[in-house]
A and B are shown apart, each in its own frame.
Chain A
Amino acid sequence: MSHLDEGTLHALLDGELDVTEAREVQSHLGTCVACGSRLQEVKQFLAEADRLVGALEMPAATAASAPRPPRQSPPPSRRQLHEPETWDETPVLMVLDDAEALARRRRWFRALGWAAMIAVVVGGGRALLSVVGHGSLPPAHDITMAARPAPPAVASPQETGRPEQPAAQAPTAPARTLAKNRASAEKTNPAPKAAAVAPLVDSARDSADTAADEFADSAQSETETLAVGATAESVSTDSVARDTQAKDTARPEDELATRRAAAQALAELDRQRRRERAAAATAALQSAAPARADAPAAMEPPLPRTPEQRSQVYLRIGLDEAAKQLGSPVHVIEGMTPELIGLTYGRLVPGADPNRPVVRVVYVDSRGRMILLDQQRLRAGQTPSAAEGSLRWSAGDVMLYLRGEPGPDVLRSLQRRVR
C-alpha cells in the first residue's frame, strides 16, 4: 500500500472510514514510520482547528436568548393546535386555520348573507313598488294582511305548550347576538314585506318587461329562502308580536337602521369570537408552560403510544448510523435485546451536550420497565463529568448515561454488563 494521503488520515481520525478501510490504514500505519508521524501532525492540526472554530462563540446574550419558531405560520394542521407546548408564540396559535375556525367563519358568512338578503329584499320591494306604480296595486296594508298566515306556523311550538326552542337550547353568546340581530331586523319587518312582494310579483309579471321579470324572479327566490329561514330558526313569539305591531309604521330610515344594526351585530359577533379564540389560545399556552418547564428534568409520565414516544426518541436509527454518530460501535447491555435504537435531544439527557443529539438504546425488562442507555460522543475539549459509582461514565470518546424505571441497584448491576 502506498503512503496515506492527508484526507484519509483526517477521515480516519474523524471516524469516517469503514471497517475494512480502517483496518488497511491501521496496518499500513503499523509499518510506515513516515505516515505514523504524519498522523501525529494531522492530529495536531485537527485539534487546533477544532479549538479555533470552537473559539468563535456568540456573545453570551445570544446564547441566552430563546430561539423562536419562524414568523410564518406553518401549514394549518390540527396536530399543532393540540400540541401548543411546542410553540412559543401566541400569534401562531391564533392564526391557525383549523376546521373549527373554518366552520365559524362559514357561520359568519352565513350571517353576512342574512344581512345582504334583508337589504336586497327591503330595497327590492321598494324598487318594485316604484316600478309598477301604486295605481294598479292593492293597498300595502292588504298585502301584509295576506302574508299573515306565516307567523302562526312560527309560533306553534309555544301553543302546543312545549318550551320555546331558543330558550331550551340555552343559546351561547354568539347565538344570542344572532337572535338579537334577527330580532332587530324583524322589528322593521322585512319578512312580511318580503312575503308581500310575492303576489305583487305575480300581478306585475304580465305587464312588466324582461328586465323587471328577471329582477322579480330573483326577488321571489330570496323571499322564499327568507321564509324558510324564518320558520326553521323559530323566531320567538315576542318578536313576531312586535313585528305585527311595527309593520304598519315602516319608514325609509328603518332600512338604514336595519342595515346598521345588522352590521353592528356582526361586528360584535366577530369581536366576541376573536376574544374567545384568544382566550382559548392563552389557556392552551398556560397549561402547556409548566409541562415544558419540567420536561427535561425527569422521564415523561406514561400514557405513551409508541415505543419512540415513550422513550422520547425522535428518530430511529440503525447500528451503523449510531456508530457513525458516536465514532465507535454503539454500547449495549450484554444479554439484553434492545427495543430500539434512536436519537434523542441532548437537552433531555442531564449532563449531555444539549446542542447535539444523543444516541439512545432503549430496553424494556421482563416487567415492562424501560431502561435507557444514552451515549454521546465527547467533543474535543469537553471533559467527561463522570463520577465513581454513578450511572454516568465515559468509555473512550463516548459519554454513557444509564437511566431507567428500575431502581439504582438494578441499574448498577446492568451497568456492569454494558459493553
Chain B
Amino acid sequence: MTADLTELFEQYYGSLVRMLYRRTGDRDRAEDLAQETFARAVAAPPNNPRPWLFAVALNLVREDGRRALRQGRRLELLRTDERPEQGPENDYERNERSSAVRAALALLNERDREALLLKAEGFNYEEIAATLGLSKGAVGTTLARARRRLVEAYQSEGRGKHVAS
C-alpha cells in the first residue's frame, strides 16, 4: 500500500520531529531533517512508511553527524541553540534534567539509542527490527541493554555531579 503523503505527514511528522529532537537535541535541525525525510518520501513513496521514514531520518542524522565531524566544529559554533527564556526554576530544573538525560543517552551505542527512541514513539518490536535492520528476536535484548545502560548512566552521572559539587 502506498499511503498518501499528506496522510503520512499528518500521522508521523510530529513523532518524527520529536524522535529527531531527542536524538539531536536541536529543534531546528530536527525539523530540517524531518522535512528532508518527507522530501525523500515524495521522491520514492515507501511501502512500509513508518519504519521507512524513521530509518531514513536516522540515516540522515548519522550522515549529518559525519559531515559535521569533517567540517570540524564549525556547525556547532554557528548554531545558536535558541533557548526560549525560561522563567520559573521549575523549567530550569527540567532543563537540567533533560541535559543530564541527553548526556546519558549519548553514552549508549548508536543502535541501542535508536531502538530506545523508536520504542518511545510507540514502535513495536517488528517495526523497530524493520527500521534498524535487526531480527525481531534481537529487539528485546537490544532494548534491555539500552534501558539498563541509560538508567545506569543517568544515575552515575547524577552521583558524579553530587560528588563534584
Contact = CB atoms under 8 A, between A and B. Distances in A.
Q: Do A and B belong to a common assembly?
A: yes
Interface of A: 5-11, 14, 16, 42, 45-46, 48-50, 52-62, 67-72, 74-75, 80, 86-87, 314-315, 324-325, 345, 355-357
A8 B140 contact: yes
Interface stretch (B54-62, B63-71, B72-80, B95-103): B95-103
Interface string B126-165: 1000000000001111111111101100100000000000
B11 A357 contact: yes
26 contacts: A6-B144, A6-B148, A9-B144, A14-B119, A14-B124, A14-B140, A16-B124, A16-B125, A16-B139, A45-B148, A49-B150, A53-B117, A55-B98, A55-B101, A58-B27, A59-B84, A61-B27, A67-B14, A70-B39, A70-B41, A74-B42, A314-B11, A315-B1, A324-B126, A355-B14, A355-B15
A-B pairs with lowest CB-CB distance, top 6: A7-B140, A7-B141, A49-B147, A11-B140, A6-B144, A70-B38
A53 B133 CA distance: 22
Nearest to B117: A53
Contacts of B101: 52-53, 55-56
Contacts of A58: 17-18, 21, 27, 30
A14 B35 contact: no
B67 to A, nearest CB: 21
Contacts of B7: 86, 314
Contact of B140 (A16, A49, A62, A69): A16
Given A14-B143, A49-B151, A55 B27 contact: no
B24 to A, nearest CB: 11
Contacts of B18: 57-58, 355
B149 to A, nearest CB: 9
A50 B154 CA distance: 13
The interface residues of chain B, by DSSP majority, are classed as helix
Given A45-B147, A49-B146, A10 B140 contact: yes
Nearest to A80: B6
B91 to A, nearest CB: 9
B54 to A, nearest CB: 14
B84 A53 contact: no
B9 interface: yes
B151 to A, nearest CB: 5
A74 B144 CA distance: 40
A29 to B, nearest CB: 16
A52 B104 contact: yes
B116 A56 contact: no
Contacts of A356: 15, 122
B48 to A, nearest CB: 12
B138 to A, nearest CB: 8
Contact of B116 (A9, A53, A74, A80): A53
Contact of A69 (B9, B94, B142): B9
B119 to A, nearest CB: 8
A69 B39 CA distance: 9
A393 B18 CA distance: 28
Given A59-B27, A74-B5, A42 B84 contact: no
